[in-house]
Structure 1
Amino acid sequence: MSNDPARLAPASPRPHAQKPLLTKLADQNGMFHARDSSDTSYDSRSSTPDSAAPLQINFRKADVDSAWNEKPENTAAARAALGLDEDTLLLVGAAGRQPEEVYTRTMSWWRAAIRRAILRNVEWESQVLANMQARVRHPVLDAYFVYTSSLGTHTFFMIMLPLFFFFGAPHFGDGLLLMLAVGVYVSSVFKDFCCSPRPFAPPVTRLTIGNHHLEYGFPSTHSTNSVSIALFYYDLLRRAYQPTSPAAEPLISQGTYMLGVGVLLFYVFSIVYGRLYTGMHSFTDCAVGIALGAGIWSLHAICGTYVDAWVRNNGFIVPAVIVPLCLYLVHRHPQPVDDCPCFEDAIAFVSVVMGMFVARWTMLHYGYDEDFFVRPMPGSSWATWSDVGTWWSTAAIKTIIGVLTIFVWRIAAKSFCHFVLPPTFRFLSHLVTLPHRRFYTPATDYTSVPPEKGLRPIPSVIDLPHMVELEVDGVGVASSARRNGTYGAVKQRAGRARQEVSEKGSAGRDGADADGQAAWGGSRAKNGADVKHYDADVLTKVFVYCGIGIMAVGVIPVMFEVLGWGVKTS
């Protein structure tokens, strides 16, 4: 974006009944005029701010001027140009939109060639997606696809996966976790390797909750995860409907089987098409994501039983291989040109898998295998209403205690690592050359990692419609709902600009990861520069999430068994 008035004409605010669609028209000079679609009149709470004056964007200058978006001092100018009031947040910055020479200079020639090939697809697919949005967008569909996109995020799976281990289905949990970890890691490797942007906004109108729009676009992690999960559950359905043994009776009826298949197809459609509908991914992104998901499930179907047997039948060679392998995967993750949060997601999942394998191997070899878990949950017979109430009460208590245990571990482990690791790194830096990752400040350049700012509030479901964000030419526009409470200081993920200009002109939070880190200006390096990432954060995340895997897979189920709550549901 540029402050050139030819690119961004001042816009006057309108009442809440806004027309979200932008129709892009090209002239002979390469200018694109974005205007409201005259044939749409519905009200969308997540639509692009429209204006009486046309919004002009020169895409030939977009790469040259994209650095403008990264400067906090330009937020006020963008607010005025878009006709926004003082209570509206601007979410600035988009990965993959720096000048082309930056990528050519930073990446190897063949990486840059791959990026240019993908970028050519993004350019024309952006217009196709914009045309599709102009035909199908509706407030109900906006809400549906934005909210269902959360069902394909790693955060959703990280919350739901422990329940498999809490309620006696560890093999399902192991398989799902392993596939999701491979999917997140492989797709994040592709993203940071190719550095391809998401579809351009405009012409598309990008709808999102959270900060996935700050990542690269190619490939779609949502598509990868949804396809691998759907195939995993389809395999379970098929085995229940068509047992491998000829003498065995089917466990489910044909109607149940068909209903399950329909639900899985609808789930995949909702996630994959939703990425196109919300302007978050191109067709190429989703197609490659689908292929990755299918390939990951196939690999699990072929090798899963062999991996289980290897863990069960071998000694210390298992942790001796798993731990260095996972640390190597973290170390060798490609370094992107932009400050992209994909790396943090990869660390989290790889570390959880490391903890899962360590916990599973320990339990199998030290008396905590399947034979240890013999106690059913109280009320599991469901013979009376009293049994039903007892079972559900126990299930609720187990879920709350289990989640709180993981939460307490996260806080304690993170605080411990932030206290111990920086001085340790500074000491080791005098003895050996420590590995350094781009955008991460070494411990020798800062004095301390700021303490946690406290618990962030969980937004109410009532507030969710107001938290939908949209993006226009790299500038995101969010509702003012997050100004309430601590949301007045909006967190920044992976150091990319998620900025608020408040009444005092102060900036919001600037964190290194999804967990939140330093406030803008709250921590500075010795040279006075703001610190966005710390080298200690990498090993901290490895330690914390490895511990989460150990707690969810091993410690908490054993605790439930000892307390008499059991993990078997029947």
Structure 2
Amino acid sequence: MESGSIPLWQPLCLFNLLGFVVAASLLGLTRMIRSTVQPWVIRRVESNTPLILQIQKLHHKYLDSFFSVLCRLVSVPFYTGFLPLLFWSGHSRLGRQMTLLMAFCDYVGNSIKDAVSAPRPSCPPVRRVTATEDEEDNAMEYGLPSSHALNTVCLSGYLLHYVLKTYGHEMDGFSVLIGFSLVFSLVFLVSIGRIYLGMHSFIDVVAGITMGILVLAFWLMVHGKIDNFITSGQNVTSFWAGLSFLLLFAYPTPEVPTPSFEYHTSFIGVAFGAVSGIQQTYMMFHTEDVPRIFSPELSLLVFSGRILAGIPTILVAKFCSKALAKWLLPVICNTLGIPIKSSCYITALKESDYSKNKSDNKQIGYLQRTISSLPHKTYDVDTGIRFLQYAGLAWSAVDLVPYIFTLLKF
């Protein structure tokens, strides 16, 4: 499936994205958007405070637990663990689309958050419930839009679309109505839950739902073409690697660093790992002819065996990918003369120490001279490490683990 020829649209797409990155940096596009939108959003967040306090008057420990669990079930960590199960259950097309849609939603939502840099509701007077470490990290992000609302609209809406398209001929009108009712109920409960927990204001949730509808509508128009490209296109892995690299630089810089960029980097890595793995093994493991769960070829017992074998494997692959990246990336950057630092993964890596070592290197090659001519900036190597470890996790879920299933006769 991978071919040596490169379709013209691929370099054009990458060059246009590169041009946007350069132009946005030179024009200060993020600052322009922030100065225009942020004051308006802040006023709306402040004006929504009485509504939040009114909803929080319903305070009860059971409601705290219910909304905390519900929001955890539609969070990025949940989808990271849930998506491999779609591939292993025989619903590879759904798994591909949900993975890429999740990455797209995460990028759009977090980019807007950090571009606008609008605060969450003030606490106090608002009571903020952060029952888990993930929620504490989420609370460090900016508010608009609500990622939970955006992701819930897109992913539950696409799941309903998939069910209707795949099994719609077997469903009556009442079943279809139940499907739509479940999606609307989930979106409503998640949105109210984010307000009740003090994580978002009304304007954040409305923005999340609105953007979710727009993203879902766009995805339903292009998902078929994207899937055809991944499964049978030319130069897929190389193009996706270039796209992923440029998207890291296209991400806006927030007023204050938040975990949003880390989440985005992780899921960009997941998307790249899944695409590269599927492109190589599509005909073996990911066609529409593979056995699906509850069929005679893939019983619930066999599927349980797949989970028991698959989950430890992808966790080991993630660990190994991270260890390899922690060793390899600093060596590559040192060889190329790229100034780097590490926020958390490599405690021994100091920017000052690196700069000293770099100045002591007397022989500078052509590639090093080329890189040294670029704008001086110290890059966080943790971004590359995070990208590679999640790419390794996703690749193992769609490539390595299915090989293991065949060996175990799963």
2:182 alignment partner in structure 1 = 263
Measured against aligned partners, the alpha-carbon deviations of 1:377-404 in whole angstroms (never above 9, x if no partner) come to 8x9539xxxxxxx944432221121111
1:545 alignment partner in structure 2 = 390
Correspondence list, 1:459-498, <5 A: none
* Unpaired segments ≥5 residues, structure 2: 1-27, 354-377
1:310 alignment partner in structure 2 = 229
1:143 alignment partner in structure 2 = 65
Partners of 2:165 and 2:335 in 1: CA distance:
56
2:284 alignment partner in structure 1 = 368
Which of 394, 401, 404 is 1:556 aligned to? 401
Give 1:298 deviation, angstroms.
Answer: 1.1
Which of 402, 406, 410 is 2:314 aligned to? 406
Partners of 2:286 and 2:258 in 1: CA distance:
41
Measured against aligned partners, the alpha-carbon deviations of 1:297-319 in whole angstroms (never above 9, x if no partner) come to 11121111112223344322x22
Give 1:356 deviation, angstroms.
Answer: 1.7
Query: Given the superposition, is the C-alpha separation of residues 524 and 427 from structure 1 closer, same or farther in structure 2, using an over 3 Å criterion?
Result: closer
Name the SS of the counterpart of 2:284 in structure 1.
coil
Partners of 1:238 and 1:219 in 2: CA distance:
29
User: Identity of counterpart residues, as a percentage?
Assistant: 25
Q: Which has the higher strand share?
A: 1
**Counterpart residue identity of residue 358, structure 1:** S
8 Å CA contact 2:93, 2:286 repeated in 1: no
Which of 326, 332, 347 is 1:424 aligned to? 332
**Counterpart residue identity of residue 338, structure 1:** V
8 Å CA contact 1:122, 1:198 repeated in 2: yes
2:261 alignment partner in structure 1 = 343
Partners of 2:38 and 2:401 in 1: CA distance:
45
1:358 alignment partner in structure 2 = 276
**Counterpart residue identity of residue 315, structure 2:** F
Give 1:540 deviation, angstroms.
Answer: 0.9
Query: Is 1:381 aligned to 2:304, yes or no?
Result: no
Partners of 1:298 and 1:362 in 2: CA distance:
29
* Unpaired segments ≥5 residues, structure 1: 1-104, 243-249, 383-389, 435-441, 444-448, 450-510, 566-570
Partners of 1:306 and 1:361 in 2: CA distance:
15
Give 1:332 deviation, angstroms.
Answer: 1.8
Partners of 2:119 and 2:319 in 1: CA distance:
34
Give 1:527 deviation, angstroms.
Answer: 6.2
Name the SS of the counterpart of 1:540 in structure 2.
helix
2:159 alignment partner in structure 1 = 233
Partners of 1:551 and 1:534 in 2: CA distance:
28
Give 1:372 deviation, angstroms.
Answer: 10
Please say which of residues 219-228 and 208-217 is displaced more in the overlay: 208-217
Runs of 4+ aligned residues of structure 1 deviating over 4 Å after TM superposition are 369-377
Give 1:556 deviation, angstroms.
Answer: 1.2
Query: Given the superposition, is the C-alpha separation of residues 534 and 398 from structure 1 closer, same or farther in structure 2, using an over 3 Å criterion?
Result: farther
Aligned residues: 355
Query: Is 1:152 aligned to 2:78, yes or no?
Result: no
Higher relative contact order (CA 8 A, sep 6+): 2
2:213 alignment partner in structure 1 = 294
Name the SS of the counterpart of 1:215 in structure 2.
coil
Partners of 1:166 and 1:239 in 2: CA distance:
21
Partners of 2:167 and 2:302 in 1: CA distance:
31
Partners of 1:189 and 1:107 in 2: CA distance:
10
8 Å CA contact 2:67, 2:197 repeated in 1: yes
Measured against aligned partners, the alpha-carbon deviations of 1:413-432 in whole angstroms (never above 9, x if no partner) come to 11121122223323322xxx
Larger Rg: 1
Query: Is 1:127 aligned to 2:50, yes or no?
Result: yes
Give 1:148 deviation, angstroms.
Answer: 0.8
Give the alignment's TM-score, normalised by structure 1. 0.58
2:17 alignment partner in structure 1 = none
Correspondence list, 1:108-257, <5 A: 108-134=31-57, 136-208=58-130, 209-210=132-133, 211=136, 212-239=138-165, 242=168, 250-257=169-176
2:241 alignment partner in structure 1 = 323
Give the alignment's TM-score, normalised by structure 2. 0.79
**Counterpart residue identity of residue 175, structure 1:** Q
Name the SS of the counterpart of 2:48 in structure 1.
helix
1:272 alignment partner in structure 2 = 191
Name the SS of the counterpart of 1:201 in structure 2.
coil
